[in-house]
A and B are shown apart, each in its own frame.
Chain A
Amino acid sequence: MQTIELLEILSGIFRKVLKRDDIFLTENTTAYDVEGWDSLTNMVLIGEIEKTLGLRFTFREIVKLKNVGDLCHAITEKRK
């Protein structure tokens, strides 16, 4: 799956969970850039991503995610 395609899917998940239509993720997007993406919603987002893409992150993998680019990379690695 291409990164652009993955970013589209992730943007859709973020829009659904955070109930906002104006979310367009890039690889450099961090929690500071998206209103509503905070410690309270982070794990709901991760859970939804796991459910949609059919994969499972360990906690240590989640801790290492610093931006959406890291998330895309981790998903690509998992799907290999």
Chain B
Amino acid sequence: MSFISFEFVILFVICFLIYYIVQKRLRKYVLLAASCVFIGYFNLLFLVTALFVSILTYCIGIMIESARAKRYLQTIYWSGISCLILCWSVFRHVDVLTGNASFIFPLGISFYTFQAIAYLTEVYWEEERAEHNLPDFMLYMLLFMKFLSGPIERPADLLSQIKELRPATYRMMSYGLKLIVVGLVKKLVLADHISPYIDGIFSSIYTASGAQLLMACLLYPVELYADFSGYTDIAIGGAMLFGLRLSPNFNRPFVAQTTTDFWRRWHISLSSWVRDYLYMPLTSLTRHLGSSGIVISLLVTFVALGVWHGVGLNFVVYGLIQGIIIVWELKTQLVRKRVSQKIGHWLYGLLSGVRTYLVFALSLVFFKAPTVQAAFYFIRHISFQTNSCWKEINIGMSDHICIVSGSALLLMLLYEFGMSRRNLLHQLEMQSIAIRWTMYYLIVFAILAYGKLGTENFIYLQF
């Protein structure tokens, strides 16, 4: 059941109506039941796995709290973490280990496993108290608006809201609905229009021309961003209709002037997770090595982040590229500052922004290509020849699709630029009813007329 499916709309509307009809104390059960239906609809085994991981985490959390100041505290914590990682690894690699390609990877497991690890670690560090209310904890783990692909929520952010479930205000609902529409535009009018053509090039790397490889490489970050941030907008907007605020996952990543800054803006809930629960403990362990310790920790962290995305050397290389670039940026801070002063901050900022985008686009070739060999072939055969014809440059897209997706991209960039200056969605609310409803009708018309309806998949569902 994807967010963009008739079944989901039915489930969402029923859940919404019941949520606001029943007594306050029953609301969490309505959300929990809807979450179980949502997960179980994909496959009952997905629900069983999610319930098992959630109950296991719940029990271990209580055990950690009750074992405070006892010698076996560490044993309990590390056993819990090992169980979670082992469970995730088995599901992630079982098709490779058994050679049975028909095995289905449980949806959302990477995300709720990360959430479970965050919870146990916060309890272990005494930053959070163990949750004793099982329904509250289950809802924290399984809430359907963030189950499939995050945002990965911290207990301090979501559990506290679940304990005090408040109905959404009119303003919150209106904002949430607008976010859903923004997400739908990103997904249906931009990502889904260009994805078949980019996928086509990546599935025929050895026969595509150099210009086509170049265009696919340059456009894939746009597709990935529109797809994933579109999903996130829908998730955050949907949760707002129930009075819940999920964490932001993107903050205009393509304006980043360094890869370091890029990772503070891209998939924020994942990058802050690896920072707090992997990178920080690693740097603590290696701090006696000075800056070498930071380098080692960075490389290990980003390789782990790459491997989280999938099995294969290509994901290792993808993570390694990010790590190496960030290490390079760390080591060349002073030199780059001097260059910036020499050539002017504006020009330097522009060049750095382009460099950051290109590095990310090239690293994504390893993320998207089926093997490392295919990725290297892809990069080696990228052509910068200027005599390529339009048919090659547009990678098979019709003029109509080029215009629609190009306009959607421009609108998305303008919207994000505007949002960085002032909250456009709040600004829209302050306009007269005629302007507001004209805008609403125009956007809905644009989605219906130009959106590519009928596709349900989001790229990050596979993780």
Contacts and interface: CB of A to CB of B under 8 A. Distances in A.
Interface of A: 19, 39-40, 42-44, 46-47, 50, 59-60, 62-64
B211 interface: no
A60 B260 CA distance: 25
Given A44-B287, A60-B125, 14 more contacts: A39-B275, A39-B280, A40-B260, A40-B298, A42-B283, A43-B283, A43-B293, A43-B294, A44-B291, A46-B287, A47-B287, A50-B287, A63-B125, A63-B127
A62 B287 CA distance: 12
Chain B residues touching A, range? 20 to 34
Q: Is the interface of A mostly helix, strand, loop or mixed?
A: helix
Contact of B281 (A39, A42, A50, A59): A59
Contact of B334 (A19, A40, A46, A64): A19
Contact of B284 (A40, A43, A64): A43
Q: Is the interface of B mostly helix, strand, loop or mixed?
A: helix
B284 A44 contact: no
Contacts of B290: 44, 47
Nearest to B330: A40
A47 B279 CA distance: 15
A46 B283 CA distance: 10
B288 interface: yes
15 contacts: A40-B260, A40-B330, A43-B287, A43-B294, A44-B290, A44-B294, A47-B288, A47-B293, A50-B287, A59-B280, A59-B284, A60-B126, A62-B280, A62-B284, A63-B127
Q: Which of B283, B297, B298, B326 has the most CB of A within 10 A?
A: B283
Nearest to A63: B125
B228 to A, nearest CB: 23
A63 B275 CA distance: 12
